[in-house]
Homo-oligomer: A and B are copies of this chain.
């Protein structure tokens, strides 16, 4: 076991590296040529223009003003300055609520740390059990933990009481936060200006009709069944093929740009390329002519395909976006069952236009259930047996295997240094590659499951990733074995022994997890702000592809919060904090620092960097709540298991009530708040309808909605997605707000926004 000295050493290293990242960030962000890497959000908003246009020739690229370097941590207070309503306005409701998860962590764990240090540490230290047990190896750290209490001691009552107090406090905080987020969401939805998705319902599984086209069928059905409310509808084209052609053309366009740039800089020789695979072999041709010809071909193909999709009735899939005259009508249609066969005419709220995941709109009901079954089984195997295929790859990738398959490599492999390198690193690389592509695998699984919006896909991927982390990182580190071995162990243990087995290992793993938090949570978060990968990619693109200012804009990669992987990782910290809160109170400050630091960094990032890809209105919050409660129940059961081994049998029944109460609390909150994230109340819809009818009685809604839900490839020839986003931006943010000039760190507190707070 590590001593306090070891921990301090590790902490010092990680704090220093975090500090180094911050210094590097402070220097890099002040250089004008990095401006688009560290402030892309402001460019996307159209508020910031490139600093490279003004100033002297050197100043265009390097910041020479020394004063700005002195205050190198000034971004921290700046990040905190922007008030929340303005933040919602600037970065979107999703992002603003996302960083509230970190705030929730602070709200839970700061009081928990104070209480734990005030009550449990003195109780543990004066337990003096370990002083008398010379046979055990222990460190000073263990004297602060529950291990220092002699078995059967009455001191355990302190831990039991604190378990209740901690549970109560966590539930109270969760309840308050859920209530606040819910009311903010309702307020946000109510204050939003007119948007197409407020009037629109996505209808899937339109039954085939021999006499009518899909469009006619939809129109007749809703004219009959929603006679006073139906307004219009848009059919969905199966444009996946067209979309592929467009993507291919754009990649060729990139190559064309590259060669044109090359030619412009060195206009002596025209660049050449080879026609074969990846330009590696084949006949050599003039690159610019070749790519021009290829793009021309694809443009023709694209036009033909576009024609085909629009004219061919088979390209229309049995789904439609149906719009209503009022929000009330849409709310009614989205929440009710239309047909006596509940697998036909499925209605749900339409996602925002930019949030729609188009390829999944046409899956029939039976296929959907089979896909979900297959994915559930796959997820099980992926989580518990993911080591098997990796082991196979590893065994194939050993040297004898490589020599057999590729005999010509033999002389190279036989070199000593290469041999030891391959043998030392190759086994680990397969695992590392798997872990890197895991989020993509999970996202693909969610896509196969057939969800229809990007936000939902991210939420479902997050759920899968959470399961993976819980099983493989948390349980895997505690029981030390592959998930499949652990599953086997747990299956062969009784239901009452499982918490004991895991609970007993918990105190021993405290130092390991403390180190993990410092590396992954402290230094890792600090590295996040440096954006090393986007920095490199941006400068590479800048060097080779960028011709015009518009290209430069496209070269900018603001990235996004990455909910699907980031949220489950936060949940791991909630889980660790709650599990160790009673057992090893020394653990808690590390968690608190993680949450504080993350809050700062991500608040800065959503203000200055990340682009918002869609707006779901914090639809993820019920998941956050559910996972924190899962963590609480796990913590309670493990504490129960641990204490039951410490001859404190009379006190364990007291703990049994905790999980029951916690689960009840969860059910209560679910009924109380979750509908606000799933349904849209008729009262609110009616209020908004009435208000709008009064303020804008002659608005032509039909024209407004006519083209809202068109597949992005039809939106404007050539440049689809960015335009789609721009269109929405104009709808989302009223012009008044767009015109206000905000610069980062100087966000002036809008007094007109303050009254919308709360």
Residue A675 at the chain B interface, CB threshold 8 Å? yes
Return the contact of A681 from the options B332, B337, B496, B684 (Cβ within 8 A).
Answer: B337
Q: Contact: A672 with B340, CB < 8 Å?
A: no
Offer 27 A-B interface pairs, CB within 8 angstroms, sorted by A: A186-B340, A224-B686, A225-B683, A228-B228, A332-B336, A335-B335, A336-B679, A336-B681, A337-B681, A337-B682, A338-B683, A340-B676, A340-B681, A342-B671, A342-B673, A342-B675, A342-B679, A342-B681, A343-B671, A369-B668, A369-B671, A373-B664, A491-B495, A493-B494, A493-B495, A494-B495, A494-B497
Tell me, in angstroms, the Cα distance from A228 to B491 when the chains sit together. 59
Residue A377 at the chain B interface, CB threshold 8 Å? yes
Residue A667 at the chain B interface, CB threshold 8 Å? yes
Residue in chain B with minimal CB distance to A369:
B668
Copies in the complex: 2
Residue A660 at the chain B interface, CB threshold 8 Å? yes
Contact with B along A351-370 (1 / 0, CB 8 A): 00000000000000110010
A360-396 contacts to B, CB under 8 A, are 365-366, 369, 373, 377
Residue A680 at the chain B interface, CB threshold 8 Å? yes
Q: Contact: A369 with B492, CB < 8 Å?
A: no
> How far in angstroms is the closest Cβ of chain B from A501?
11
Contact with B along A418-448 (1 / 0, CB 8 A): 0000000000000000000000000000000
Contact with B along A195-235 (1 / 0, CB 8 A): 00000000000000000000000000100111010000000
> How far in angstroms is the closest Cβ of chain B from A629?
15
Tell me, in angstroms, the Cα distance from A664 to B328 when the chains sit together. 36
Residue A490 at the chain B interface, CB threshold 8 Å? yes
Q: Contact: B336 with A337, CB < 8 Å?
A: no
Contact with B along A618-656 (1 / 0, CB 8 A): 000000000000000000000000000000000000000
Return the contact of A225 from the options B338, B343, B365, B682 (Cβ within 8 A).
Answer: B682
> How far in angstroms is the closest Cβ of chain B from A420?
41
Known: A369-B668, A494-B493. A339 touches B225 (CB 8 A): no
Tell me, in angstroms, the Cα distance from A369 to B627 when the chains sit together. 21
A-B complex: 10 closest residue pairs judged by Cβ atoms: A342-B675, A337-B679, A491-B496, A335-B336, A373-B664, A492-B494, A337-B681, A369-B668, A340-B681, A493-B494
Number of chain A residues close to chain B: CB under 8 A: 48
Residue in chain B with minimal CB distance to A672:
B343
Residue in chain B with minimal CB distance to A345:
B683
Residue A331 at the chain B interface, CB threshold 8 Å? yes
Besides the contacts A345-B683, A369-B664, A491-B494, what 20 more A-B pairs have beta carbons closer than 8 Å?
A221-B683, A224-B683, A225-B328, A332-B332, A335-B335, A336-B336, A336-B682, A338-B681, A342-B671, A342-B672, A342-B679, A343-B671, A365-B672, A366-B668, A369-B671, A373-B660, A373-B664, A490-B495, A492-B494, A494-B494
Tell me, in angstroms, the Cα distance from A490 to B497 when the chains sit together. 11
> How far in angstroms is the closest Cβ of chain B from A653?
13
Tell me, in angstroms, the Cα distance from A228 to B686 when the chains sit together. 12
Residue in chain B with minimal CB distance to A663:
B373
By CB atoms of chain B within 10 A, which of A221, A377, A660, A682 has the most? A682
Tell me, in angstroms, the Cα distance from A672 to B337 when the chains sit together. 12
Tell me, in angstroms, the Cα distance from A494 to B224 when the chains sit together. 58
Q: Which chain B positions have C-beta within 8 A of A339? A: 681, 683
Residue in chain B with minimal CB distance to A674:
B342
Tell me, in angstroms, the Cα distance from A490 to B683 when the chains sit together. 51
Return the contact of A338 from the options B228, B343, B494, B682 (Cβ within 8 A).
Answer: B682
> How far in angstroms is the closest Cβ of chain B from A370?
8
By CB atoms of chain B within 10 A, which of A225, A328, A343, A497 has the most? A225
Q: Which chain B positions have C-beta within 8 A of A682? A: 225-226, 336-338
Q: Which chain B positions have C-beta within 8 A of A660? A: 373, 377
> How far in angstroms is the closest Cβ of chain B from A636?
16
Tell me, in angstroms, the Cα distance from A492 to B337 when the chains sit together. 46
Q: Contact: A683 with B340, CB < 8 Å?
A: yes
Q: Which chain B positions have C-beta within 8 A of A343? A: 671-672
Tell me, in angstroms, the Cα distance from A547 to B638 when the chains sit together. 71
Q: Which chain B positions have C-beta within 8 A of A221? A: 683
A667-715 contacts to B, CB under 8 A, are 667-668, 671-676, 679-684, 686
Residue in chain B with minimal CB distance to A685:
B225
Tell me, in angstroms, the Cα distance from A224 to B365 when the chains sit together. 37
Tell me, in angstroms, the Cα distance from A211 to B241 when the chains sit together. 62
> How far in angstroms is the closest Cβ of chain B from A475?
15
